Structure 1
Amino acid sequence: MPVLGLGGFFWRAKDPEGLKAWYREHLNVGGGCGTDERGQSNEWFWHPEPGPIVFEPFKETTDYFAADKQFMLNLRVRDLDSLLEQLNAAGIAVITKDEWDSPETGRFARIHDPEGNAIELWEPAES
């Protein structure tokens, strides 16, 4: 199979530069974040750690995220509790629900970016 993995995620935004800065500041996501295998960084590329990616369409009637949004971003995180503390300190509303968490899959929380896009934060279960 020639596909190696996810190559990018693109969407429309009212304020692309402001949204890019928000993701970088609060989640360390986007161009210039992380380094490649040689320790190099690049303003265009984000170098996340290797790990699982879920690629899954939902039914158009799902209530798992807002009906007026076509996507929900799920980010794999380490130390969810610390990240939630940082987000709360920055005034970003955090949603958690006990029923989202399970020993098999891990723990989840939800935030929204300044344009109302849902971001699910996922701390995978320990292997």
Structure 2
Amino acid sequence: MAKALGIGGVFFRARDTAALAAWYEQHLGVPGFWLQEAGLTIFAPFPADTDYFPANRQWMINFRVDDLATLITQLQAADIPVETRPDEWDTPETGRFARITDPEGNPIELWEPPAA
């Protein structure tokens, strides 16, 4: 049986494609073409009534990061609001999480997996 090998791309609509692409590269280090590091990727449909991300959004992208604390500092220095809920989201088993939105309001979850 043939099967998918991994995520080949993430495509979404934007009002200003060039500006949004530049924002992702500047603040998250995500270029247009990206050879990402190997690691766990979760593919999980959520119930239609989930409150895990905003009800007016169909999706939320999650980026694995290597140093969440430093990235949060960088984002805040760039006046990007960062939401954390350590008591609710973070566990030794799953790692640490933070959330931001891009300039067009798309939700982004930042995930630092637990140390191996």
Aligned to 1:91: 79
Aligned to 1:112: 101
1:41-60 matches, within 5 Å, as: 45-60=33-48
Aligned to 1:42: none
Aligned to 2:27: 26
Q: Does residue 72 in structure 1 map to residue 60 in structure 2?
A: yes
Q: Does residue 16 in structure 1 map to residue 29 in structure 2?
A: no
Letter in structure 2 aligned against 1:69: R
Q: Distance in 2 between matches of 1:115 and 1:68?
A: 13
What is the deviation of 1:2? Answer: 3.2
| Structure 2 length-normalised TM | 0.95
**SS of the residue 1:109 aligns to:** strand
Q: Distance in 2 between matches of 1:2 and 1:84?
A: 36
Moved segments of 4+, more than 6 Å: none
Higher RCO, Cα 8 Å, sep 6+: 2
5+ residue gaps, structure 1: 32-44
Q: Distance in 1 between matches of 2:3 and 2:108?
A: 29
Count of matched residue positions in the alignment of Structure 1 and Structure 2: 114
State percent identity of aligned pairs. Answer: 58
RMSD: 0.8
Q: Distance in 2 between matches of 1:64 and 1:4?
A: 27
Q: Distance in 2 between matches of 1:86 and 1:78?
A: 13
Aligned to 1:37: none
What is the deviation of 1:3? Answer: 1.7
**SS of the residue 1:55 aligns to:** coil
1:13-72 per-residue CA deviation (whole Å, 9 max, x = no partner) reads 1111110000000000122xxxxxxxxxxxxx2111111100000001001111110000
